[in-house]
Structure 1
Amino acid sequence: MYPQLFSMIAPNLFQGGTDDLDVIHLPVTNNRKRTDLPFDSIVTMYAWARPADWNVQEFRYGVPDASITDIDLTRLREAVEFAYSRWKSGDRVLIRCQAGLNRSGLVTALLLIKDGHSPESAISMIRSGRGDDALFNTSFTDWLIAEAQTFLNTSPSQKAA
């Protein structure tokens, strides 16, 4: 059973999924503005999700819910930097994927770690807010615990050196 569409993890920071019918390959029955998602900025990690609504700034990077090695870490960093800067500027930020559990959890955890939480604390906060099934992908959680702080403290130019 999927959790609710989105959950607050920290003030102005939400993690969620995509409604089953809110995907690009299904026809839209109308083109009225959606007003049910109260967000200023959204990071979408699910390639088939419909774009964010009007007047919502969106960063899209669709990745598989598989191994961390399947993700371009430079682009992941860009998603994290976008979300973190919007969150810290006062935006209500949603990090979403398909079910709202793993890919969105990866980005949300990185935001919390960047904000000073330990990886374990970030994972615990996400599971408290989103449910025990959040971040069940052990490739993601193992990487968060072992590598996230180094990843966040290494600039792209330092990695290339």
Structure 2
Amino acid sequence: MVVTDEFDLVISLYRRSGSGPAEGVEHHYLNIPDGMLLPADAVRCAELASIAAAAVGAGRRTLIRCQAGYNRSGLVAALTLIRLGHTAGEAIALIQAKRSPYALFNGHFVNHLLNEGDPAPAADLTRTPKE
């Protein structure tokens, strides 16, 4: 998805030249594979979810995106929904209902959401990680 300034916050889990966002838009990037989730990546995804949840809570227009919009963005979106009060099961169901029944088909990500928990503390909403 190519964006300019339609959003106040963009979290990218895939990078393509020329896809934005515009200069001045808060942008966070994390390159993770659509496969096994490494512990450091799980922590960083949880940190990005904290940033997204704080932005949504403040009424900021927020985009979480990846290459196809199914798994990596689904993982961070689900973690964000959990931060906003949903259970993991509710978050997964909501993403599949609103995006596609094929969203979050990565079993490693679903297992992480349902069984392994969230490695970042929920109170860590003000930390601004480096891009």
TM-score norm. by structure 2 comes to: 0.81
CA contact (8 A) 1:41 1:58 kept: yes
Does structure 1 residue 68 correspond to structure 2 residue 37?
A: yes
Unmatched 5+ stretches in structure 2: 125-131
Question: Residues 57 and 153 (structure 1 numbering): CA distance in 2 closer, same or farther, change over 3 Å?
Answer: closer
Who is 1:57 aligned against? 26
Partner residue of 1:96 out of 42, 55, 65? 65
CA contact (8 A) 1:97 1:103 kept: yes
Question: Residues 47 and 64 (structure 1 numbering): CA distance in 2 closer, same or farther, change over 3 Å?
Answer: farther
Residue 72 of structure 1 aligns to a residue whose secondary structure is helix
Aligned mates of 1:59, 1:153 — CA distance in 2: 19
> 1:134 offset after TM fit, Å?
0.4
Larger radius of gyration: 1
> 1:84 offset after TM fit, Å?
1.5
Who is 1:3 aligned against? none
CA contact (8 A) 2:47 2:120 kept: no
What amino acid does structure 2 have at the position aligned with 1:53? A
Aligned mates of 1:88, 1:112 — CA distance in 2: 11
Partner residue of 1:144 out of 113, 126, 130? 113
RMSD of Structure 2 on Structure 1 (CA):
2.4
Does structure 1 residue 111 correspond to structure 2 residue 80?
A: yes
Aligned mates of 2:31, 2:23 — CA distance in 1: 20
Aligned mates of 2:42, 2:93 — CA distance in 1: 23
Aligned mates of 1:147, 1:64 — CA distance in 2: 18
Does structure 1 residue 38 correspond to structure 2 residue 6?
A: yes
